[in-house]
Amino acid sequence: MKRNILITGGAGFIGSHVVRLFVTKYPDYRIVNLDKLTYAGNLENLRDIEDRPNYRFEKADICDFDTVCELFRRYDIDGVIHLAAESHVDRSIRDPFTFARTNVLGTLSLLQAARLYWEAKPEKYEGKRFYHISTDEVYGALELTRPEGARSDFSAHEVYGDEFFTEETKYNPHSPYSASKASSDHFVRAFHDTYGMPTVVTNCSNNYGPYQFPEKLIPLFINNIRHEKPLPVYGRGENVRDWLYVEDHARAIDLIFHKGKVADTYNIGGFNEWRNIDLIRVLVRTVDRLLGRPEGASERLITFVTDRAGHDLRYAIDSRKLKNELGWEPSLQFEEGIEKTVRWYLEHQEWMDRITSGEYELYYETMYRYR
């Protein structure tokens, strides 16, 4: 094999799209998918490539340092794409210790395993790369304003302020989740500065698309509209997020892994801001239409609930550095991406039903216990 790439969290939402892209696009790479298979990890996401000769799956915890070291030796890993993380803000508010353990200590475990293995080789860091995927939430929040003229180079929809997160924006996390990711980012950069490890960090906006665990807004609301359940909206739904189709994120990861500058940071965003309430209304109209209902009929399901603690008002990513240096930009307009996403979930009801029932967890727990 030309390269041996370890992808952590490869059974999750974004990770499964990255694994599929690399396995399919690079048949001369061995892709090792390391995933603990917690509630959000689902090997059913990868059934279409699980028998490929250049794909391996390893069920393990990134915090298990001895196991991680053994995997580096067994597969002669020369590149890491690190996506494994606890990522749901509400869960982090209820259980911050789990987020600190996985996101901070798990990242440190991977960094140290990579450092020890690579430094022991004659070529040391030559040809190696540790790529850490982070979030725009580490930057904190932006002001929400309504300028008269939207900046056409920044949005296919509407711009809600004059400020954007850039690679130079200071970190200001407001939730246990974003604080844990900020800490892991600092460890990655420290390993470059201290040991010379060839690292790269990216901070991405909200992703959407197929295979997303249905505690997240878009798949949750698609499923609730389908079953005519309430659509719980925090506050008045005025929080603004920048949305990116997950396959466009996977393309960016591929590009940055191969061509990004060592020790650099790249922001990845969709140039695509939406207020939560406006996004939900688009979802309602799209699901209603595809289910043969009158468009907008399910808006009656919208229920405003008490706002989340520490709920950041606006995120907006400036991705011009990535576009200017490496030529990446989103391939889909939001309406096109939402149409594809809603159709996928409605056409994969069995996948959604198994996820929401917990059936998939029992199946894979049994399979790996007795394999």
d(CA 63, CA 72): 14
The yes-or-no verdict on residue 207 having pLDDT over 90 is yes
The yes-or-no verdict on residue 331 having pLDDT over 60 is yes
Q: Which residue has the higher pLDDT, 357 or 279?
A: 279
**Prediction pTM value:** 0.93
d(CA 300, CA 102): 39
| pLDDT above 70: percentage of residues in the chain | 93
The yes-or-no verdict on residue 329 having pLDDT over 80 is yes
The yes-or-no verdict on residue 369 having pLDDT over 50 is no
Q: CB of 113 within 8 A of CB of 70?
A: no
The yes-or-no verdict on residue 364 having pLDDT over 90 is no
pLDDT of residue 144: 84
pLDDT of residue 120: 98
Q: CB of 335 within 8 A of CB of 179?
A: no
Catalytic residues: 136-137, 177
End-to-end CA distance of the chain: 26
The yes-or-no verdict on residue 3 having pLDDT over 80 is yes
Q: Give, in degrees to the nearest 5, the angle at Cα 228 between 222 and 229.
A: 85
pLDDT of residue 85: 97
Compute CA distances 203 → 11, 76, 166, 188, whole Å: 20, 28, 10, 13
Q: How confident is the model at residue 356 (pLDDT cuts 50, 70, 90)?
A: confident
**What are the tens digits of pLDDT across the range 5-42?**
999 999 999 999 999 999 999 999 999 999 999 988 99
Q: CB of 338 within 8 A of CB of 283?
A: yes
Buried-state track 323-341, b at ≥16 Cβ within 10 A, e below 16: eeebebebebebeebbbeb
pLDDT of residue 359: 59
**What are the tens digits of pLDDT across the range 144-177?**
876 554 444 433 456 788 899 999 999 999 999 9
**What are the tens digits of pLDDT across the range 45-80?**
999 999 999 999 999 999 999 999 999 999 999 999
Could you tell me where the DSSP H helices lie in the chain? 13-25, 65-75, 89-94, 96-99, 106-119, 176-195, 217-226, 246-259, 276-290, 320-326, 334-347, 349-357, 359-369
Q: 183 is written with which tokens?
A: 């800490």
The yes-or-no verdict on residue 91 having pLDDT over 80 is yes
Torsion sign (Cα): 61, 62, 66, 71: positive
pLDDT of residue 174: 96
**How would you classify residue 199: left for phi > 0, otherwise alpha for psi between -120 and 50, otherwise beta?**
beta
d(CA 132, CA 332): 25
Q: How confident is the model at residue 290 (pLDDT cuts 50, 70, 90)?
A: very high
pLDDT of residue 335: 87
Average pLDDT over residues 102-131: 98
Compute CA distances 245 → 46, 271, 333, whole Å: 18, 11, 9
Neighbouring CB atoms inside 10 A of 83's CB total 24
Average pLDDT over residues 100-105: 98
The yes-or-no verdict on residue 246 having pLDDT over 90 is yes
